Homo-oligomer: A and B are copies of this chain.
Amino acid sequence: MSDGDRLHAADSPVLRPPTIYDVARLAGVSHQTVSRLLKGDGGVKPANRERVLSAIEQLGYRPNLTARSLATRRSHRVAVLTQELGQVGPGKVVQGAAEEARLHGFVLDIITLDVGDRSNVEQGIRMVNQQDVAGILALASTDELRAAFDRADFRIPVLMGGEGDEAAGGPPLRVSTVAIPQLVDHLVTLGHRSIVHIAGPKKWVAARNRALAFESALARHGLELARTVHGDWSAASGHAAIASLPASMRFTAVCAANDQMALGAMLALQERGLAVPADVSVTGIDDIPEAAYLVPPLTTVRMNSEEQGHLAFRNLLAQINGDTPSPIMVEGRVIIRRSTAAA
């Protein structure tokens, strides 16, 4: 009886999702015709096209991406290696990348790793290797990770950090430094000549890029940094950085490499009896959502991290598809608030 099949499918205990074969049978064509239609390259007569489409509709068919990626040996998944999702910046970058990924039918596999812990990194990389992903987005762009990648010898596209090492030639994606010259101009115009920089960890590419940008921006005014202290991106380390400065040292401005460290610095300055901005101006980078509500509200650089995530993914996708990824710049904008004033 002709109902046999349908009945069987309907009350089979393990109601499996329909396949192209089911669709093909219902539409009275071969499975290949269905596959062709799905690929969209044409070559299917309108009449059959209609029947297949309606069969798909009727069965609620959805392609099984696992099978597809096994057959094509291409996956629609991208691994994201990241250190600190808890941080606002990285989190937003990932979010942007995830949105862009979804737009292109990709999924992100998040793998967090402790960039300092080598065995942890190796394990993460091994996982990536197994997962057959189409590409890798490494958002925690540190020297250790880069070294681990070199050892791993991936045969798939890798985008490091969404941020290239500016000291080592042209990066595919240049971010985080674009508005620093304007920030420095702002301070110099206010009369600041003695500026302390609280940088990120030396091993982070982004930290080096930012420090470099401050130096060269000051150089254009014939100035140089009064001092550079390294933190670890945290508010605590910003606090410690200021505390580590000799009491005798004179400076009128502190530029931190991110907002968290700026925040810690502000508290340390106040504890030292220095008012912000009356005695010392303070700036951050990132414009975290809280920056406008700090005391005082923080002058900073808005980074648009989400956009960075979008661009990073697009860039990687271009590599995956064999197109030449266009070098991209993320816009940065100086946001002047009340933490900066005349020297």
Contact = CB atoms under 8 A, between A and B. Distances in A.
Interface of A: 1-2, 4-10, 12, 15-16, 62-67, 69-70, 73, 75, 77, 80, 84-88, 90-92, 94-95, 98-99, 102, 107-112, 123-124, 126-127, 129-132, 149-150, 153-158, 160, 165, 168-170, 172, 234-236, 238-239, 260, 263-264, 266-267, 270, 289-290, 292-295, 297, 305-306, 319, 327
Given A77-B109, A85-B91, 20 more contacts: A1-B327, A7-B149, A7-B160, A9-B155, A9-B156, A10-B155, A15-B155, A62-B129, A70-B70, A80-B110, A84-B95, A85-B94, A85-B95, A86-B95, A95-B112, A102-B127, A107-B127, A108-B109, A235-B290, A263-B294
B65 A130 contact: yes
A43 to B, nearest CB: 24
A92 B88 contact: no
Contact of A86 (B91, B109, B123, B150): B91
B124 A7 contact: no
A110 B111 contact: no
B110 A123 contact: no
Given A66-B132, A149-B7, A168-B5, A292 B235 contact: yes
Contacts of A15: 155
B157 A8 contact: yes
Nearest to A73: B16
Which A-B residue pairs are the 10 nearest by beta carbons?
A91-B91, A86-B92, A295-B295, A85-B95, A7-B158, A235-B293, A85-B91, A1-B170, A107-B109, A98-B112
Contacts of A75: 66
Nearest to A11: B155
14 contacts: A5-B165, A5-B169, A12-B155, A62-B130, A66-B66, A80-B110, A102-B123, A107-B131, A108-B109, A236-B289, A239-B293, A260-B290, A263-B290, A270-B295
Contacts of A1: 169-170, 172, 327
A306 B70 CA distance: 34
Nearest to A270: B295
A266 B295 contact: yes
Nearest to A133: B107
A274 to B, nearest CB: 13
A92 B87 CA distance: 8
Contact of A169 (B4, B87, B149, B172): B4
A64 B73 CA distance: 11
Contacts of A234: 289
Given A91-B86, A154-B7, A293-B235, A2 B267 contact: no
A306 to B, nearest CB: 7
Contact of A305 (B4, B84, B86, B158): B86
A326 B228 CA distance: 51
A9 B110 contact: no
A24 to B, nearest CB: 19
Contacts of A170: 1-2
Given A292-B236, A293-B263, A87 B94 contact: no
Contact of A92 (B65, B66, B85, B293): B85
